[in-house]
Structure 1
């Protein structure tokens, strides 16, 4: 087995492990689609509950989490202004989004936009 074959096999195994460990919304957490970047670490996100929130990327994730328009993310609404603001907790990969669609967790998002 050559070097390239080993790398491809490692990628496949990593994707399979990602599918096993998908973060699902708990408590007040919501899944949403990144609508528009505002600059810095802020952006507008359309959530599954039909609200548009002004969300930020927390400092601990600023350099680790790179997002673009159309990405599916997990959001934790703030305690005080739940309908207006929140924090981005996690970004789903393409394989994770496909898995969530198969499970039926992204049906309401499909009505808002096309992936």
Structure 2
């Protein structure tokens, strides 16, 4: 039983220096999605092969992306958060 002391908190994967939080806004097909990043930029993100069959990504999901160095409007998805993990990040103030 939890008495509200935060004991249900999980240690979640946080962004590295070159990664930002993003929300999936649109499915584009061909392993690509449109994401709105926390830095205010809307990017086309690529779902890497290692995630295609194992991790289902849908509109509204919270993901970690790493923007491309040479093309800022594109990015690669690095991680997808479960809905309860996304709620925890919002409660802790990491994302709006």
Under a length normalisation based on structure 2, what TM-score does the superposition of the two structures give? 0.86
Q: CA deviation at 1:84?
A: 0.5
Q: Which has a greater percent of helix?
A: 1
Give the paired residue count. Answer: 89
The TM-score normalised by the length of structure 1 is: 0.73
Tell me whether 1:44 sits opposite 2:55 in the alignment: no
Stretches of structure 1 lacking an aligned partner (at least 5 in a row): 1-15, 108-115
Computed over aligned residues only, the root mean square deviation of the Cα atoms, in angstroms, reads: 1.2
Moved >4 Å (runs of 4+):
none
Unaligned 5+ segments in structure 2 are 1-7
Matches within 5 A, 1:33-112: 33-81=23-71, 83-107=72-96
User: More strand by proportion, 1 or 2?
Assistant: 2
Aligned mates of 1:62, 1:80 — CA distance in 2? 24
Larger Rg: 1
